[in-house]
Amino acid sequence: MFTAQPISSLNFNILTTRRRRSSGVPATSAENNVRWVLQKPNLGSWANRVGSVRAVISSEDKTLDSDSKPLKEKDLNGSLSSSSSASSGIDLRAVIKIRKKMREKLIDKIDDACESFINGIGQGILIQVVSEEIDPVTKAGKTVESTVRGWLPRPSDHPYIAEYGADFTVPIDFGRPGAVLITNLHSKEFFLVDIVIHNFSEGPLFFPANTWIHSQKDNPESRIIFRNQAYLPSQTPPGIKDLRREDLISLRGNGKGERKMHERVYDFALYNDLGNPDKDDLARPVMGGEERPYPRRCRSGRPPSKIDPSCETRVEKPHPVYVPRDETFEEIKQNTFSKGRFKAMLHNLIPSIAATLSSSDIPFKCFTEIDKLYIDGVMLKDEEHQSEGFLDNFAKQVLSIGDRLLKYETPAVISNRFVWLRDNEFARQTLAGVNPVNIELLKEFPIVSRLDPAVYGPPESALTKELIEQELNGVMSVEEALTNKRLFILDYHDMLLPFVDKINSLPDRKIYASRTIFFYNNSGFLRPIAIELSLPPTPDSPHNKYVYTHGHYSTTHWMWKLAKAHVCSNDAGVHQLVNHWLRTHASMEAYIIATHRQLSSMHPIYKLLHPHMRYTLEINALARQGLINGGGIIEACFSPGKFAMELSSAAYKQMWQFDMESLPKDLVRRGMAMEDPSMPCGIRLVIEDYPYAADGLLIWSAIKDWVETYVNHFYPDHSTIASDVELQAWWDEIKNRGHYDKRNEPWWPTLKTQEDLSGILTIMIWIASGQHAAINFGQYPFGGYVPNRPTLMRRLIPQENEPDYKKFLLNPQLTFLSSLPTQLQATKVMAVQDTLSTHSSDEEYLGQLHQSHSNWINDPKIIELYKKFSSRLSKIEEIINDRNKDVHLKNRTGAGIPPYELLLPSSGPGVTGRGIPNSVSI
């Protein structure tokens, strides 16, 4: 919000005179007296001035003219008696709800009192009601204008809501209001919750807003708020058709200039703000374009950097990055969790950790040192750069910090201390961990790379048939295992090998391109049987491929542990940069921008998607500022280092495909399911006990059915899809601007039928809700214990002809621990994972209608369908809970095995390891 300003800066005299002259109504004695109070120089403090204002209000209350009569409780509750007649028209009362700040300093309270008074005398908010009917004279919607009036508003049922009233008299033939225009005459913005117009025979008319209303001094244009009636473009009543078009034009902007923080302009830009060419070693290539394709982000329009004009100048923390005003976190989220917590974590906690540990940034020497993070904690230095009261007001709420002691919660994966060491747990997490979306059925043998052999050497894998059969212990041949769908693979070879040399050139950063083979045995367990770790060929070593198996004596056993750690490190990097950031955060940003630019807020598809867009642009902007940026947390703490976003771009180029973001299609593509029309969703899982897929299909099916019934309600036939100009422009912009670098791909779905639209929307809603939940909220429960899921490795595995091999033989545990992230790196990334795994107290979950959106649509049929959707999700929660108690489902139950709850729809606040928010909100 804008900084509170003195009352005199509100231009009280000018506004009062202008409004009175234009209306021909003389100033009341109250207004004249208040003007005198505000102007008198010798009244002293603000408190004295406000007290004088209140005294004027009290003394003048009985002498107010009829225009500024006090609001009565019955007025605000809508219990009005109609005074309509053929001559006088219909008397209406509009009730305006404005959200106040939750945490107010004294100056804010004084400012609120002044604003309340200004509103009370009709000088703060101008409101214009626009009819759905055309005025035959103006050829536009009929209008009637008033000001928000009434003295100090009555207390609302909600402690942070203020309610005001505005009275109108409209002609009998005015028609139904379709829009309201709001002009904010104050010097700063305010948050409008909604407007309700009373005294229509059909009942109250709702105008949901949940939006910031800019000050007229920042933008003279009034804000347009539409009624909660959904209209396709062709169905738009004539009186508000022009407003529909004007509102969309204002949201698109002109693509020029630097965006201001109060604006609501949605436009596309390249990822050209990740690096800072003007600083040493922080230059990063632009993401987006033929060489490094990427989805587009929200344009902020900052000037180019001095050294590289293709890059935008950065806004460094703690200064905010522009996002359209309504995309910013609401205050409850700022205060109780995300923005305050996320930014404090980046600006305060991470620097404090660095200050404490940087002088001794060393590896863990024993597992006990890791355990101390949960038992004893880390005593943080109280650095000067920390904001006053940080440790008291923030840190205690975050990670059990008290008296500068940082103590982490014990992550779920080590509820049984040694479960993580088992091969079965390593394999189980590919099906029920935080990244269960990369395992594939092994369909062909031998395994062959698709990379250019002239550059990357012979394409054949070192995982031979003989080696696999040896590890199968004669149970079956490779051919039988392939036929019976028993062999699976986690294959990061082709994705990572082009980056290995570049990453390994970074200090203390070592990586292999990995392949891991799993066997699904008769007991229902997935077991890792072989790991291949590859380096690019060199003249001296053209076959840099190393194969590791479990082994039955100490040396090979420790080698196997190191190989699994390298696989986990690769998995963590791909998870964070590809499956989490690219496939949910970055892809959703492009859909959200196009939705605001091309679909009116009264469009039924906008109304369907709106809950699934909440907070995404803001969290993405914060990530570009402190997580995925050059020198950010991801570069510092994950294997790819400074090449992290280049890896993400390469994955987008090679494998991202919109239609394959469908859960059923993705499972079939990976060979984890087979098409079967007799089964729900038309597929049958190859491994029945695949928790992510089994629970995910329940959620997917519920979303799909809800979306299909919704779409069919508004689009009775194919022709209505084709003729919807906003809808067609929306889909065209997603393909040709949001995903510009993939615009010519043949796999983009067409948008001609109800089935096409339902399929597209189901994918988007699934990505924003279920998919993001499944791969986000388990980050700390699984990654909070560094040995289970290291985010980087600092050493290659020592070979027999290398000096480090003798050190390994003497102390294999130290070799293992010294290969993991250092204490500083581990502590940083644990703080990030904890934050990213935390639900805000104002989270909006799938199927749960937030109170502020209770009147989101005026359609009883849709409300009924939504209730069915919500009820179905409640039943799904019961099904998942029952599955987690089934002893036959060994990937969910057993000694030390945490239940799979990442796709349980509901959750409370905090790190719960469950809950599906509507949107990508963290």
Question: Could you tell me the two tokens for 715?
Answer: 């689009």
Residue 153 has pLDDT above 70, yes or no: no
Q: What average pLDDT does range 347-364 have in this prediction?
A: 67
Query: Which is more confident, 12 or 710?
Result: 710
Counted residue by residue, the chain has a size of: 922
Of the listed ranges 148-162, 184-198, 230-244, the least confidently predicted one is 148-162
Q: Which of 522, 430, 415 is nearest to 891 (CA)?
A: 430
- What is the pLDDT at residue 316? 85
- What is the pLDDT at residue 111? 75
Burial class (CB in 10 A: 0-12, 13-18, 19+), 843: buried
- What is the pLDDT at residue 29? 40
Q: Residue 474 and residue 203: Cα distance in Å, rounded?
A: 76
**Tokens 């935008």 -> residue:** 312
User: Residue 871: how many CB atoms within 10 A of its CB?
Assistant: 12
Q: What average pLDDT does range 469-486 have in this prediction?
A: 95
- What is the pLDDT at residue 842? 85
Query: Which is more confident, 567 or 400?
Result: 567
Position 459 confidence tier, pLDDT thresholds 50, 70, 90: very high
- What is the pLDDT at residue 201? 83
Residue 1 has pLDDT above 70, yes or no: no
Q: What average pLDDT does range 540-551 have in this prediction?
A: 88
Position 717 confidence tier, pLDDT thresholds 50, 70, 90: very high
Q: What are phi and psi of 120, to 5 degrees?
A: -60, -35
The count of C-alpha atoms lying within 13 angstroms of the C-alpha of 87, restricted to the half-sphere facing its C-beta, is 0
Q: What average pLDDT does range 411-433 have in this prediction?
A: 92
- What is the pLDDT at residue 104? 62
For residue 587, give every residue at least 6 positions away whose Cβ sits within 8 Å of its Cβ, in sequence order, or none.
295, 656, 661, 739, 767
Torsion 714-720-721-727 (CA) sign: negative
Question: What's the mean pLDDT when you consider all of the chain?
Answer: 86
Position 160 confidence tier, pLDDT thresholds 50, 70, 90: confident
**Torsion (CA) 208, 211, 212, 216 in degrees, nearest 10:** -50
Q: Which of 666, 676, 654 is nearest to 775 (CA)?
A: 666
Q: Residue 176 and residue 205: Cα distance in Å, rounded?
A: 9
Q: What average pLDDT does range 228-247 have in this prediction?
A: 98
- What is the pLDDT at residue 739? 98
| pTM: predicted TM-score of the whole model, two decimal places | 0.89
**Tokens 């034009």 -> residue:** 249
Q: Residue 81 and residue 179: Cα distance in Å, rounded?
A: 24
Q: Residue 251 and residue 246: Cα distance in Å, rounded?
A: 9
Residue 351 has pLDDT above 80, yes or no: no
Q: Which of 756, 772, 727 is nearest to 612 (CA)?
A: 772
Give the helix ranges, DSSP H, for 385-464: 390, 396-398, 423-432, 453-456
Q: Residue 335 and residue 102: Cα distance in Å, rounded?
A: 9
Supply the DSSP symbol for 208.
E
Q: Residues of the chain with pLDDT > 70: what percent?
A: 83
Q: Residue 214 and residue 221: Cα distance in Å, rounded?
A: 9
Tens digits of residue pLDDT in 257-290: 999 999 999 999 999 999 999 988 999 999 999 9
The answer to whether 97 and 194 are in contact (CB under 8 A) is yes
Q: What average pLDDT does range 346-366 have in this prediction?
A: 69
- What is the pLDDT at residue 307? 93
Tens digits of residue pLDDT in 35-52: 444 444 444 443 444 444
Residue 444 has pLDDT above 90, yes or no: yes
Q: What average pLDDT does range 740-757 have in this prediction?
A: 98
Query: What is the strand order of the sheet 190-198 is part of?
Result: 161-170, 90-99, 190-198, 205-213
Residue 902 has pLDDT above 90, yes or no: yes
**Torsion (CA) 410, 411, 412, 414 in degrees, nearest 10:** -80
Q: What is the DSSP string of 496-541?
A: HHHHHHHHHTSTT----EEEEEEEE-TTS-EEEEEEEEE----SS-
Query: What is the strand order of the sheet 223-226 is part of?
Result: 141-147, 125-134, 177-184, 223-226
Position 120 confidence tier, pLDDT thresholds 50, 70, 90: confident
Query: Which is more confident, 85 or 736?
Result: 736
| Residues annotated as part of the active site | 580, 585, 772, 776, 922
Q: What average pLDDT does range 316-340 have in this prediction?
A: 73
Query: Which is more confident, 225 or 113?
Result: 225
Position 109 confidence tier, pLDDT thresholds 50, 70, 90: confident
Q: What average pLDDT does range 356-384 have in this prediction?
A: 77
Question: Could you tell me the two tokens for 846?
Answer: 């799938």
- What is the pLDDT at residue 824? 87
Position 355 confidence tier, pLDDT thresholds 50, 70, 90: low
Tens digits of residue pLDDT in 769-785: 999 999 999 999 999 99
One-letter amino acid for residue 495 of the chain: M
Query: Which is more confident, 231 or 854?
Result: 231
Of the listed ranges 497-506, 664-673, 714-723, 828-837, the least confidently predicted one is 828-837
Q: Which of 876, 610, 600 is nearest to 765 (CA)?
A: 610
